[in-house]
Every structure is written in C-alpha cells, then in structure tokens.
Amino acid sequence: MQPESFSHLDERGNPSMVDVGDKQVTLRTARAQSVVVLNEAVLKQFENEEIRTKKGPVFQTAILAGIMAVKKTSDLIPLCHPLPIDKIGIDIRLNEKKEVEIECTVRVTAKTGVEMEALTGASVAALTVYDMCKAFGHDMEIRHTRLLEKTGGKSDFSR
C-alpha cells in the first residue's frame, strides 16, 4: 500500500512533523543493518572476535556509539519524534566474506515506530568502525544500510 502523499509535508508542501496524537501506543520494533568492508591490513588485526587499535576495541566502541546515536536520532533527523526507547541491541560480527555486519535492534512502546532509530544506530556504528580503522588505510567501504524488519504500527515489514 503506497501513500498518496509524503507524510512529512503539510497541505502547502512545507515540512511538518507527523501528528501522532491520535495514534495508539503499541509495542514497535525495528532492526537495521550496515555492512563495512575492511581492507586486509585491518583484517590482520582481528583476534578473539575484536579488532584492537590504539583508539581502543573497535567493535565495543562502535556498539556504544550506535547506542548513543539511537538515543540522539530526533536531534539528528529533523522530523523524527523524540522517543522513550525501551531497548537497544547492537550486534557486530565478521561474516563469512570477512565483512563487518552490524545489526541494530530497537524497541519502544509508543505512538510511532523506531525505523529511523535503528537505521541511525547501525549507520553510526559503521562510521565508528571506519573511523577507528582508517589508520590502517582508507580503502574500506560502508555498504548498504537498510531496514531488515519492523513490527507494530500500520504494517509490519520484513526483508
């Protein structure tokens, strides 16, 4: 079901925060993913499920950055509602292709969803991995950041 108009524009076409006042408070979840392709020099640093640099443990720092980003989403994205987040989970692992997979899961009991929060958390965690590893070379790539699933609200979504 496609909307007939953008939800963040008023009747005159100006930006407007969506009015969620009449919506029901429900449990809503979202899970997003970012993938970082590392260079060989960085991959050589991978040991015991972590990459250690002079700046510190990369994955642990990226998890904290992602959590902080989720909590700041409404400060970063102009038309997002500030939300009382119930739970944030960030999982970072090296996949079989030697890419860093970052998944951010967010849960809230509210009148609006947390897709943007999950996407923001995954994105900032990926940027943090890049930042902490760039001393080993800039030939890394942040690949797709995408919503994997969401529940609650008008409709559910799953990739």
Give the chain's domain count. Answer: 1
Residue 13 lies in a domain: no
User: Beta 99-110 vs 56-57: how paired, if at all?
Assistant: unpaired
Residue 73 lies in a domain: yes
Residue 10 lies in a domain: no
User: What is d(CA 153, CA 28) in angstroms, rounded to the nearest whole number?
Assistant: 7
pLDDT of residue 29: 98
Residue 58 lies in a domain: yes
pLDDT of residue 18: 75
Residue 5 lies in a domain: no
In this structure, which long-range contacts are made by residues 73-82, counting pairs with CB atoms below 8 Å and at least 24 apart in sequence? 73/116, 73/117, 73/120, 73/121, 76/120, 77/116, 77/120, 78/15, 79/8, 79/15, 79/16, 79/17, 79/18, 80/116, 80/117, 81/17, 81/18, 81/20, 81/110, 81/111, 81/112
Residue 14 lies in a domain: no
The CATH number that applies at residue 46 is: 3.30.70.640
Residue 124 lies in a domain: yes
Residue 23 lies in a domain: no
Amino acid identity at 98:
K
- What range does the domain containing 82 cover? 31-152
Tell me the catalytic residues: 131
**pLDDT digit string (tens) for the chain, length 159 residues:** 455 666 666 677 777 777 787 888 999 999 999 999 999 999 998 888 899 888 899 999 999 999 999 999 999 999 999 999 999 999 999 999 989 999 999 999 999 999 999 999 999 999 999 999 999 999 999 999 999 999 998 889 999
